[in-house]
């Protein structure tokens, strides 16, 4: 299939360009030309408020009158953006007769060039066009590409430009140069740029240029929060690093659909922990991460929820920092936030809770060592992680320290996933609810008046929800 339009990037800096029209469409076209440095003349008897301000500021030359045929003369590019199709066609005919590229809005057959949808990471520009077929499709593709191309690519391109000559002088062999740029663009240098750490990126590229650097590649560790289970809750950066790492070290709480989004050829190492069943001690995990990175691997440490909220992420990067291993931390949606949102329970609310506290309900020696007096204070929401086994102690201690037995309680099982179930009750009866129909871990416990809002605000239903018999997650109708 032949190309109807040749994709090109045209320099219009300081060159005379014409826009005819003063509406919102003309405004968008003019904005693109001004960003490219064009010397724009705009012809229109009326302008939008924004165009009026720009004209008064001298950003372009304004001719406050209808189009005249002589307006096209001497122009290097023309855009017809009036609301009169006859005038637009006249402009196109005149421009074509003088071999001037012309674009006519909403009339692709009259165009000799198209303005694509763009992803602007200047100096990196990605353009998407569907030709004459579907501008809406082009915008959709642009939106999806926006999510895959970090804003830092512009800074990365600037860095590469500054080092281009040095790299060429350093590596005379083209294969070595390609290897060098592959390491830079897909490794620690690029990630430092994406994280806004320009000085660290420059230091890293200097190390890459040092003699012998190609003989040994020090890897990096990505400590990534996988969220509570729904893959759609991953951050863009998390997804990019998941598909970049060649070793994946993951926990039990990482959902299988999320694990499936990592590189297919990546080595996977399971270090999950269950109650009284630790596959690998924490100290061994810390040591393994450092050793893998030292061997040159890009290591993805994938943890459920957020790695810095009851995830021992701080312990793992403490070892890396002490040994000079590059690392970065990508936060995830913690279980409290994700599960509460999917259960229709706001953790704070002006009428019910002015603060929220996250605590671990993990048993140690048969007890839970918490500041129960503080947790019993009114006007707050308490979220217990890993508290299912210790639920009887939680209920007993809260009531003993002054919380009303009628205080609402919710248990969210496997929140944000198709297996989500929400159990509700009060401190006085929740143990009976659980005994009659035991929930499966991981289950989050929410205690507070905000639980009362669930019936009104619940929006996420699954086949496990006893109030709706659907087989897949759907939105609730109110």
What is the C-alpha to C-alpha distance for residues 7 and 3, in angstroms, rounded to an integer?
9
Instruction: Show me where the domains of the chain are located.
Output: 16-115, 150-217, 218-333, 336-475
> Could you confirm whether domain 16-115 is CATH 3.40.50.720?
yes
Instruction: Point out the catalytic residue in the list 217, 273, 291, 465.
Output: 273
Question: 342, 338, 320: which is closest to 329 by C-alpha?
Answer: 320
Distance from the Cα of residue 383 to its chain's centroid: 26
Please list, in sequence order, all residues whose beta carbon lies within 8 angstroms of the beta carbon of residue 429, skipping any fewer than 6 positions away: none
CATH superfamily of 336-475: Tetrapyrrole methylase, C-terminal domain (3.30.950.10)
Q: What pLDDT score was predicted for residue 444? A: 96
Phi-psi region of 129 (alpha: psi -120 to 50; beta: other; left: phi over 0): beta
b/e per residue 47-72 (b: at least 16 CB within 10 A): beeebeebbeeeebebeeeebeeebb
What pLDDT does 273 receive? 63
Residues with pLDDT less than 50, the chain: 463-464, 466-478
pLDDT confidence of residue 275? 56
Contact assessment for residue 401 and residue 376, using Cβ atoms and an 8 Å cutoff: yes
**What would the pLDDT profile of 223-235 be if each residue is shown by its tens digit?**
999 999 999 999 9
3-state helix, strand and coil shares in percent for the chain, rounded to the nearest 5: 40, 20, 40
Is 429 considered catalytic here?
A: no
Beta strands in 68-187 (DSSP E): 77-80, 102-104, 117-121, 124-128
Architecture of the domain delimited by 218-333: 3-Layer(aba) Sandwich (3.40)
User: Hey, do 218-333 and 336-475 end up sharing a CATH topology, with the first three levels equal?
Assistant: no
pLDDT at 474: 43
Question: Of the listed 71, 230, 251, 306, which one is catalytic?
Answer: 251
Q: Is 303 a catalytic residue?
A: no
DSSP code for 231: G
168 vs 161: CA distance, rounded Å = 11
Spatial distance between the Cα atoms of 165 and 275, rounded to a whole number of angstroms: 57
- The two structure tokens encoding residue 325: 């291993």
- What value, to the nearest 5°, has the Cα angle with vertex 55 and ends 49 and 60? 135
């Amino acid at each position: 299939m032949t190309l109807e339009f040749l994709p090109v990037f045209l320099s219009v800096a300081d060159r005379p360009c014409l826009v005819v029209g003063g509406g919102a469409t003309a405004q968008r076209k003019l904005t693109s030309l001004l960003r490219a440095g064009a010397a724009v003349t705009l012809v229109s008897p009326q302008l939008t408020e924004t165009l009026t301000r720009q004209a008064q500021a001298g950003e372009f030359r304004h001719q406050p009158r209808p189009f005249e045929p002589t307006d096209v003369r001497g122009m290097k590019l023309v855009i017809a953006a009036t609301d009169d199709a006859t005038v637009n066609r006249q402009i196109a005919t005149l421009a074509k007769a003088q071999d001037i590229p012309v674009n006519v809005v909403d009339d692709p057959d009259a165009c000799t060039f198209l303005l694509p949808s763009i992803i602007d990471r200047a100096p990196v520009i990605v353009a998407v066009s569907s030709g004459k077929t579907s501008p809406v499709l082009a915008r959709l593709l642009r939106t999806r590409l926006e999510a895959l191309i970090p804003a830092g690519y512009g800074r990365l391109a600037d860095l590469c430009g500054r080092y281009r000559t040095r790299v060429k002088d350093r590596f005379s062999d083209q294969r070595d140069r390609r290897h060098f740029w592959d390491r830079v663009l897909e490794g620690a240098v690029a990630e430092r740029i994406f994280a806004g750490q320009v000085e660290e990126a420059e230091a890293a590229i200097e190390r890459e240029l040092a003699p012998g650097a190609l003989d040994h590649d020090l890897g990096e560790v990505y400590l990534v929060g996988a969220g509570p289970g729904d893959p759609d809750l991953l951050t863009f950066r998390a997804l990019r690093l998941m598909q970049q790492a060649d070793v994946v070290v993951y926990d039990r709480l990482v959902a299988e659909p999320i694990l499936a989004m990592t590189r297919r050829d990546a080595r996977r190492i399971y270090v999950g922990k269950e109650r009284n069943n630790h596959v690998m001690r924490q100290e061994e995990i810390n040591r393994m991460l450092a050793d893998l990175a030292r061997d040159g691997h890009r290591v993805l440490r994938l943890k459920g929820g957020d790695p810095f909220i009851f995830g021992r992420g701080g312990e793992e990067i403490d070892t890396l920092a002490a040994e000079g291993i590059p690392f970065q931390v990508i936060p995830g949606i913690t279980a409290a936030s994700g599960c509460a949102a999917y259960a229709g329970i706001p953790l704070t609310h002006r009428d019910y809770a002015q603060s929220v506290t996250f605590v671990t309900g993990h048993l140690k020696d048969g007890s839970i060592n918490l500041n129960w007096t503080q947790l019993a204070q009114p006007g707050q929401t308490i979220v217990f992680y890993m508290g299912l086994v210790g639920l009887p102690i939680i209920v007993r201690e809260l009531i003993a320290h002054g919380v009303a037995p009628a205080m609402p309680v919710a248990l969210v099982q496997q929140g944000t996933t198709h297996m989500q179930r929400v159990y509700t009750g009060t401190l006085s009866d929740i143990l009976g609810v659980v005994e009659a129909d035991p929930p499966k871990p991981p289950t989050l416990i929410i205690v507070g008046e905000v639980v009362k809002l669930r019936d009104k605000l619940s929006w996420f239903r699954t086949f496990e929800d006893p109030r709706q018999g659907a087989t897949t997650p759907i939105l609730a109708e109110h």
